Amino acid sequence: MPLTLRSRANDVSSRMLGGIERVGNKLPHPFILFVYLALLVIVASGVTSLFDVTVENPESGETEPVRSLLTGDGLVYMLTSALDNFVQFPPLGLVVVMMLGIGLAQQVGLIESAVKRVILAAPPRLVTAAVVLTGICGNLASDAAFIVIPPLAALVFRAVGRHPLAGLAAGFTAAGAGFSANFFVAGTDVLLSGLSTEAAGIVDSGAEVSPVANWYFMVASVVVLTLIGVFVTEKIVEPRLGTYRGEDEEDDAAALERSQVTPEQRRGLRNALLAIGAYLLFVVACVIPSSSPLRGEGGSLVESPLLDGIVPLLFLLFVVGAVAYGVTVNALRSSGDVPRYMAEAAKNLGGFLVLIFAAAQAIAYFEWSRLGLWVAVNGAELMESLDVSGVGGLVGFSLITLVLSLLIASGSGLWAIEAPIFVPMFMLQDVNPAYVQLAYRIADSSTNCIVPLSPYVAIMLGFIQQYDRRAGLGTLFALVLPYTVAFYVGWMLLFVAWLLLGIPIGPGEALHLS
């Protein structure tokens, strides 16, 4: 990177990132944040109840008082409901089941081999598109995409005579800023939809947000974000980087050679693809008959057992592919290896379980006390008085999320805080919670690469310093900021256009509830 570019980037962006980092460092761990939030709800419910505050329940039409958690009834509720709040929290079972399937695919090497195969097999003129596309869809492997894709992309870029930092930037930002988009339903869809369902229950106990609620839009997003990523890489980032002159070409060549997919792994990928194809054909064959038990009333596929059972169906899809691949490459030598690998994958859920326990209590207190309903009703009335609703309200909400996501690195943690407030508020404005969730996902994903508290920012800086030893946070910021801005603006324009055209964002999803 030219010295002038490095100096200018470090002067401006280091100060900006430093300020965000100082503020973010003052925030507690997300678990502690939810403990504080629960305490705040307890105190607020007690204070509010002293003023005999009431709220009209939109579901029953009855006027109900805000209940204090600082009473005998409140204490009994908190003690007797703690286990149920955790065990019955919607995201818990959904995420655990999905991560067992995806974790098995990771443990046997299926996802990593697929990523390498796509990137390394791409013709030179399509390398950028292959890197960005693979990075975006890499969220199937969750955070592992941040570790595998960027350094591999740098090696491939250098092998075809291009600047390795451009490959690093393209791979890192695609995996980060495009984290929510995918051709497939991933663990993120399951986790966020569970939190959205819990929040929607504050207003409507029967409301449910499906894991496929954003699927149509996210499939289109993969294509749009890939085009944006290619444009930013080739027209903005690479021209500013200039020509790379390194001294370790032999080391890079050896590393690239070690990254190649072996013939055995290629056979494993082929067999996995065949097995997944056969599985999907079987599911389709079960759904085709109009009298199929997987269809809903009147033969509907929108409200049907098929969509209700989408999580176990996806779990089986990953298991089928993982077993076919694992058997081929000898990663699975006996049936006992399957549960062993799943158990290894389950170890990564420890942090999630701890966070969810605290979040489940805070959200349950918010709902039981009726503070959540009171905030939602009054917030909806404020939005109506300001004439902020629908598309305009969702855009405004995404901007709020954009700022908060720079301070709270955990995407699920931030949504667990925002959902109980904004989902009911928008529902009372007749806005489908699936659309609120989508507006959140766009903003939260777009900033993933510039969150100072994210551990992957430090990892990315280490990757960059392999090619530029004098690089700092300013260098990293200068590389990824064009992607962050372009992804957010392009994604939001797609979102607004999608809404104005009235296209469903997922099966049976419309902007308005009525």
56 CB contacts (<8 Å, ≥6 apart)?
62, 63, 64, 377
Amino acid letter for position 461: L
511: pLDDT strictly greater than 70: yes
Find the length of the chain. 514
Q: Which two tokens stand for residue 414?
A: 């931030």
Work out the end-to-end distance of the chain between its first and last CA atoms, rounded to an integer number of angstroms. Answer: 55
Predicted confidence at residue 143, as pLDDT, reads 64
Q: Which has the minimum average pLDDT: 6-10, 62-66, 220-224, 332-336? A: 6-10
Cα–Cα distance measured from residue 80 to residue 59, given in angstroms and rounded to the nearest whole number: 26
DSSP for residue 63: E
Sign of the dihedral through C-alpha 147, 152, 155, 160: negative
Query: Does position 165 have pLDDT exceeding 50, yes or no?
Result: yes
Would you state the pLDDT for residue 102? 82
Name every residue whose Cβ is closer than 8 Å to that of residue 38 and which is 6 or more positions away in sequence.
358, 361, 362, 365
Query: pLDDT > 90: what percent of the chain?
Result: 36
- Could you please report the per-residue DSSP string of 318-349? HHHHHHHHHHHTTS--STTHHHHHHHHHHGGG
Which residues, 6 or more positions from 227, have their beta carbon under 8 angstroms from its beta carbon? none
> Can you tell me the mean pLDDT for 147-158?
82
Q: What pLDDT is recorded for position 474?
A: 73
- Separation CA 297–CA 468 (nearest Å): 61
Mean per-residue pLDDT, 372-394: 82
Among 107-121, 251-265, 488-502, which stretch is predicted with the lowest mean pLDDT? 251-265
Is the pLDDT reported for residue 43 higher than 50?
A: yes
Backbone angles phi, psi at 439, to 5 degrees: -60, -40
Residue 348: the pLDDT is 76
Cα distances (angstroms) measured from residue 111 to each of 196, 322, 344, 350, 447: 28, 9, 16, 22, 25
Instruction: Flag whether pLDDT at 379 surpasses 50.
Output: yes
Structure confidence at residue 264 (pLDDT): 93
The mean pLDDT of 453-463, rounded to a whole number, is: 72
> Residue 313: is it exposed, middle or buried by C-beta count within 10 angstroms (0-12/13-18/19+)?
middle
Are 216 and 302 in contact by the 8 Å Cβ rule? The answer is no
| Average pLDDT score over residue span 454-475 | 75
Residue 205 is encoded by which pair of tokens?
Answer: 């106990």
Mean pLDDT of the chain: 84
Residues 7-23 have a mean pLDDT of: 52
Alpha-helix residue ranges (DSSP H) falling in 66-107: 72-87, 90-107
- pLDDT at 361 (0 to 100): 92
Q: Which is more confident, 389 or 419?
A: 419
pLDDT at position 10, please?
47
Instruction: Choose among 352, 346, 348: nearest CA to 413.
Output: 352
For residue 71, give every residue at least 6 positions away whose Cβ sits within 8 Å of its Cβ, in sequence order, or none: 46
* Residue among 409, 429, 412, 397 at smallest CA distance from 495: 397
- Secondary structure class of 54 (helix, strand, coil): strand
Average pLDDT over residues 107-112: 86
Residue that the structure tokens 């404005």 belong to: 429
Give the H/E segment covering residue 3. helix 3-25
pLDDT number for residue 308: 81
Residue 74 has a pLDDT of 94
Confidence of residue 502 (pLDDT cuts 50, 70, 90): very high
Q: What is the mean pLDDT of residues 335-340?
A: 92
The predicted structure's pLDDT at residue 431:
93
Of the pLDDT bands very low, low, confident and very high (cuts 50, 70, 90), residue 221 is very high
Q: For residues 27-43, give the mean pLDDT.
A: 84
Query: Where is mean pLDDT largest: 16-30, 284-298, 466-480?
Result: 284-298
Q: Could you give the CA distance from residue 272 to residue 326 in angstroms, rounded to a whole number?
A: 9
**59 or 171: whose pLDDT is higher?**
171
Confirm if 489 and 225 have CB atoms less than 8 A apart. no
- Beta-carbon count within 10 A of 120 CB: 17
- Residue 369 · residue 69 · CB < 8 Å: yes
Rounded distance between C-alpha atoms, residue 463 and residue 155, angstroms: 11
- The residue-averaged pLDDT of 115-122 equals 80
Res 286 pLDDT > 90: yes
The yes-or-no verdict on residue 204 having pLDDT over 70 is: yes
Cα–Cα nearest to 214, from 177, 182, 254, 255:
182
Q: Is the pLDDT of residue 3 over 50?
A: no
Half-sphere exposure of 405 (CA within 13 A, CB side): 25
pLDDT at 412 over 80: no
Quote the pLDDT of residue 19: 57
pLDDT of residue 471: 73
What phi and psi, each to the nearest 5 degrees, are found at residue 61? 80, 0
pLDDT of 9: 45
Q: How confident is the model at residue 5 (pLDDT cuts 50, 70, 90)?
A: very low
Is residue 1 over pLDDT 50?
no
Average pLDDT, integer, range 94-107: 84
pLDDT at 16 over 90: no
Per-residue confidence (pLDDT) for residue 409, from 0 to 100: 65
Please, are residues 329 and 340 in contact by the beta-carbon 8 Å criterion?
Answer: no
pLDDT at site 407: 72
Q: What is the mean predicted confidence (pLDDT) over 222-248?
A: 86
Q: Which has more confidence, 27 or 239?
A: 239
Instruction: Please state, in angstroms and rounded to a whole number, the distance separating the CA atoms of residues 286 and 306.
Output: 10
| pLDDT beyond 80 at 257 | no
| Mean pLDDT lowest among 210-224, 357-371, 432-446, 454-468 | 454-468
**Per the structure block, which two tokens stand in for 80?**
């007797």
- Tell me, what's the pLDDT at 147? 75
Report the pLDDT averaged over residues 5-15. Answer: 50
Confidence label for 84 from pLDDT (cuts 50, 70 and 90): very high
Q: Is the pLDDT of residue 292 over 60?
A: yes
